[in-house]
Structure 1
Amino acid sequence: MFKRDALRVLLALTASLLLCPGVQAATPEVVKPVQSCSGLLATALSDIGGEGSQVLSARESVKEGVAMCVLEGRLAPAIGFRVSLPVEGWTQRYLQIGCGGLCGRIPEEVGAAEGCVPLKAGGFVIASTDMGHQGMGGEFGRDEALRIDFAHRAVHLTAVAAKKLIRAYYGRAEAYAYFTGCSDGGREALMEAQRYPEDFDGIIAGAAAMNFQVQNGLYHAWQARANTGADGQAILQAARLPLLHQAVLAQCDVLDGLQDGLLSDPRLCHFDPASLQCPVGATSPRNDCLSAAEVDAVRKLYAGPRDPRSGERLIIGGPQYGSELAWAGVFVPRAAGQPIFSGQIALDALRNLSFERNPPESFSLADVHFDQAMLEQLMLLHPLYDATNPDLRAFAAAGGKLILWHGWADPHISPLNTLAYHEALEQFMGKQEVAAFERLYLLPGVYHCADGEGPSLVDFLTPMLAWVEQGQVPQAVLAKQAASRPRSSFGQPGALSPAVEVSPAPAKTRARPLYPYPALAALKPGADPDQAASYTAAPARFTAPTPVWSGSSLFTPYRAR
């Protein structure tokens, strides 16, 4: 981690720029390049990635009105990376972004930074990597070296290489380094904090796939199996999801004190899908109720698997109430015969990544046993892939800052994972110590990394800049929902699969504040619910810790592999 030396003191005292209402951050001195973009082709990288590591191309281009020197390169054996360096206006900030799914492509979109002024002005060097392989499947896992690159090596070496290229281009190092990622990018973010605590000053981890082994080997495998009938066909299809979602809202929307179509804390809800079951004797499919088989499938999807002997949970939690519309394409097919993401990602992982020795190519989800023995098999590679270690003492000692965030309506990764990690941090390091460097935000009605029924356009980067550079601790963060509902690719696993729409987009932009967990946003009496100023922080209505499950030990300190 960069030391808080005299240069940082000078930067912190320079003129301030208003970045976001209520948040101020210093504007570091602008630095110009000292050599040409093409000159960076000669920068040696073999000392970082090994023989064959090099910059493959260098070109100047204009991105969103900002002139950039764009470099593409490779770190041995197959880590692809891209670094974009401002030709003018570099404010000595470096930002690295993570990818989604199993990666395999170099991401470009910076998410969770809606309206961040320095970012839009082109003041950052931005880098990203494909995590050591090309293509979004899991076949790379047949190579041990590529497994390690995907697990953690690629994200770290990309940071090291990008910083060397920064020094070569500008003649000086960056003053501040930041990382932001969602989904696997969130896992990468936490890998950096846990394994390489000196790489970044500020880390933003969204919907982190930190519990990688259980997430793919049990959660997604269960979601796919639970919605498959004896005939091999899906039991529940997307056309049934609006009925289910509306029933959940009818029972639970008011529990957070505001009837707005969102569940501010789904843990308050105790919905029973049996309330939707068709009457006994109903002989034909009906639009106003669910069949007994559909009710059973829904129960299994919410609950997750349990060990048949002990009855203990095998996962930390399933999709939360209020997420139903986002199930489409994930573990509920849009129509008969269409593929689902859960089945694809589970098989990719289980066939290629999850075990020390891969199973036969004929391995299918029917071969998965949802029991303690399966969990223990997956735990063998927990120290390699997972990023659940709550020992962030080195990161905190280096001055690092961490923002965790997760959408409550995420169907890909249960937000209970992020909650469990936050709780594990506090249990291991102490609440006061954790409060000095970490904040958690939970977004009502927001899906996986972006979009949803709730306000999802949010900027966590601006408050992170202010926290790192000026010591301004993050408080309320503004979240918006635009009338056009733009869709984001940030952290998304390959092709986007939009959720089922049951209501038109809002006629105007809606906004509300997000408060650091556990506080909730409460509407002032008689105020306009679409205005952020109408809300105030309120105490949590649910205070119980996340459930105990068979893998709770995964969220305790461990020796990384």
Structure 2
Amino acid sequence: MPIPISKLGLPAIAFFMVVGNIPAVQAQDSAPDSCHALRDVVVDGATVTSARVMDASGDLPAYCEVRATALPTISIEIRLPLEGWNGGFYQAGCGGFCGILGRADASGGFINAMGPGLAKGYATATSDSGHLGLSVVDAEWADRNPGAERDWGWRSIGETHRVAQAMIEAFYDTGAETAIFQGCSTGGRMANMAALRYPEHYDGIISGAPALDYTGLVATAMSWFVQANTDDEGQQILKPGKEALIGDEVMRQCDGVDGEEDGFIADPRACNVDLSGLECGSEGAGNQCLTPEELDVIAAWRQGPRDSAGNQLYPGGIPEGSERFWPVWLTGTEAGAPAVVPLFAKGFGAYMAFPDDPGATWSPTDFDFDTDPARLSTMAAVYNSDSTDLTAFREAGGKMIVWHGWADAIVPPYKTVEWFEATAEATGSQEALEENVKLYMIPGLDHCGIVPGEGGLSQADLDPLTAIETWMSSGEAPETITKAQ
């Protein structure tokens, strides 16, 4: 159930106040000296830990890199172009359970990365969301740590904005004229949270594959996917190697449903796949057929989580057309790399999902679909950003692009579609909502476009930043967020 914005508990105004009389540092006077002088800027509730000049590299200009900590433990990186600042601010979210400052900028893509904004002349910033993690599936930091959970849930978004604005004001002697937030997955959850909790901070928001109902997804749905693929001895049923067999049959039955055979499924909801023709005996036959037990796994994945009375607990399941991406997310690879979904489900359930953390011994196979969903409500109020009340953001004139791949196997797209439709109804109509918020569904695209799909389709084919810039400047919502061919 969407969480009313009135129940989200806006942080005290004091968190957003910067100590007055911040000394103005003129970037154009002497770039190195001006950058280094930022070490002495005083910001309430935060500490500047370093400031250094970084040389131009590739398509990135030279910039002043500032590292700061918003108390108690939110690590923030800010990048300030030494020349050619466009007067804007670009804030990036982070992926998974975060915990690794600036991780996304090492990937070369735009997802949760500062680079695309910096390349266009924006002052940029991101954070680790308030903790140090050994990986993006490491959730031990949250063990009996409600403050850290709050920072990850929402506070790091506002604190990153606040500290970055102080640095921008000090370096350029003026504030940013516009602000954009961009994120995907957890970063998409953060993007929606930015619209809900900080509606006047951002003129444009880019929300990709948003994990809006984090408790419903990572606790309930992912536990369902794990349990469905675990036998009575605790062993994995559907193992790596059969994804191509399943995917080819799905595409054979579904590709032309939309009237065009192009290697993409335009909307999995329009496809009703029958895999019985691939069935073999329980003894199996290599990767050339599916055992009855494997067929049961796929059926459960497609259905999505339900309680013992048959009530749907999270919208839909694993979409048709996502099979080629299952080795990363669901089955693991034949080379031995583990699937990501069980790792997320394990960490989240052990340390983040419940008010009282069960700890390291907890397993996704322990999740009770009759009793545990109700226990998630406390943390749902901290993490989830699926409220349909975007009134404040819309009244502030903000523009928001929401995008999701139809072939997403870790954050299934059906929740995003359901949320958008419910938000349109709450707003009055889809036409009214689309004055400020527009949804773009992309056939064949993996989660955040991370793994290349048919024809190499990936995040490299998208350009939501140019799309949001155009919308903000012209007032006309773009027809597409894909790059011009």
Range class of TM-score, shorter chain: 0.7 to 0.9
Structure 1 residue identity aligned to 2:333? R
Structure 2 residue identity aligned to 1:380? T
- 2:178 alignment partner in structure 1: 176
2:283 is the counterpart of 1:287: no
- 1:428 alignment partner in structure 2: 426
- Does structure 1 conserve the Cα–Cα contact (< 8 Å) formed by 2:79 and 2:118? no
2:235 is the counterpart of 1:233: yes
SS of corresponding position for 1:246: helix
Deviation at 1:437, TM superposition (A): 0.4
Structure 1 residue identity aligned to 2:54? S
- 2:296 alignment partner in structure 1: 296
Deviation at 1:361, TM superposition (A): 3.4
Aligned runs of 1:115-154 on 2, under 5 Å?
119=117, 121-135=119-133, 136=135, 137-141=138-142, 142-154=144-156
- Does structure 2 conserve the Cα–Cα contact (< 8 Å) formed by 1:93 and 1:124? yes
Note the alpha carbon deviations across 1:460-486, whole angstroms, 9 max, x for none: 111211211232321233347xxxxxx
The whole-number CA distance in structure 2 between the counterparts of 1:117 and 1:296 is 44
2:60 is the counterpart of 1:61: no
Deviation at 1:362, TM superposition (A): 2.0
- 1:84 alignment partner in structure 2: 79
Structure 2 residue identity aligned to 1:130? D
Note the alpha carbon deviations across 1:386-430, whole angstroms, 9 max, x for none: 000111111011110000000111111011111111112101111
Deviation at 1:338, TM superposition (A): 5.2
Aligned runs of 1:137-286 on 2, under 5 Å?
137-141=138-142, 142-278=144-280, 283-286=283-286
Note the alpha carbon deviations across 1:48-107, whole angstroms, 9 max, x for none: xx2xx2111111012435110001111111100100000000010110011100000123
Which residue among 404, 413, 416 is the counterpart of 2:414?
A: 416
The whole-number CA distance in structure 2 between the counterparts of 1:434 and 1:138 is 36
Structure 2 residue identity aligned to 1:217? A
- 2:3 alignment partner in structure 1: none
- 1:469 alignment partner in structure 2: 473
Note the alpha carbon deviations across 1:123-159, whole angstroms, 9 max, x for none: 1111000000011311121211111100000111100
Structure 2 residue identity aligned to 1:406? H
2:92 is the counterpart of 1:97: yes
Which residue among 25, 40, 43 is the counterpart of 1:42?
A: 40
The whole-number CA distance in structure 2 between the counterparts of 1:408 and 1:128 is 28
The whole-number CA distance in structure 1 between the counterparts of 2:337 and 2:61 is 42
Deviation at 1:112, TM superposition (A): 5.1
Deviation at 1:370, TM superposition (A): 1.8
> Percent same amino acid among aligned pairs?
34
The whole-number CA distance in structure 1 between the counterparts of 2:440 and 2:397 is 21
Change (3 A) 1:477 1:216: closer
The whole-number CA distance in structure 2 between the counterparts of 1:366 and 1:255 is 36
- 1:313 alignment partner in structure 2: 312
Structure 2 residue identity aligned to 1:468? M
The whole-number CA distance in structure 1 between the counterparts of 2:404 and 2:448 is 7
- 1:28 alignment partner in structure 2: none
Unaligned runs of 5+ in 1: 1-30, 481-510, 512-561
The whole-number CA distance in structure 2 between the counterparts of 1:81 and 1:75 is 7
Question: Which has the larger share of helix?
Answer: 2
- Does structure 2 conserve the Cα–Cα contact (< 8 Å) formed by 1:303 and 1:317? yes
Structure 2 residue identity aligned to 1:469? S
Structure 1 residue identity aligned to 2:297? A
The whole-number CA distance in structure 2 between the counterparts of 1:194 and 1:120 is 26
- Does structure 1 conserve the Cα–Cα contact (< 8 Å) formed by 2:301 and 2:317? yes
Unaligned runs of 5+ in 2: 1-25
- 1:396 alignment partner in structure 2: 394
- Does structure 1 conserve the Cα–Cα contact (< 8 Å) formed by 2:467 and 2:480? no
Q: Which moved more, 1:104-113 or 1:337-346?
A: 104-113
Deviation at 1:113, TM superposition (A): 8.3
- 1:356 alignment partner in structure 2: 355
The whole-number CA distance in structure 2 between the counterparts of 1:317 and 1:214 is 12
The whole-number CA distance in structure 1 between the counterparts of 2:271 and 2:259 is 13
SS of corresponding position for 1:181: strand
Structure 2 residue identity aligned to 1:106? L
Deviation at 1:440, TM superposition (A): 0.6
SS of corresponding position for 2:230: coil
- Does structure 2 conserve the Cα–Cα contact (< 8 Å) formed by 1:262 and 1:453? no
Note the alpha carbon deviations across 1:466-510, whole angstroms, 9 max, x for none: 211232321233347xxxxxxxxxxxxxxxxxxxxxxxxxxxxxx
- Does structure 2 conserve the Cα–Cα contact (< 8 Å) formed by 1:262 and 1:444? yes
- Does structure 1 conserve the Cα–Cα contact (< 8 Å) formed by 2:84 and 2:121? yes
- Does structure 2 conserve the Cα–Cα contact (< 8 Å) formed by 1:273 and 1:299? no
- Does structure 2 conserve the Cα–Cα contact (< 8 Å) formed by 1:408 and 1:445? yes
Structure 2 residue identity aligned to 1:140? W
The whole-number CA distance in structure 1 between the counterparts of 2:141 and 2:165 is 27
Deviation at 1:42, TM superposition (A): 1.0
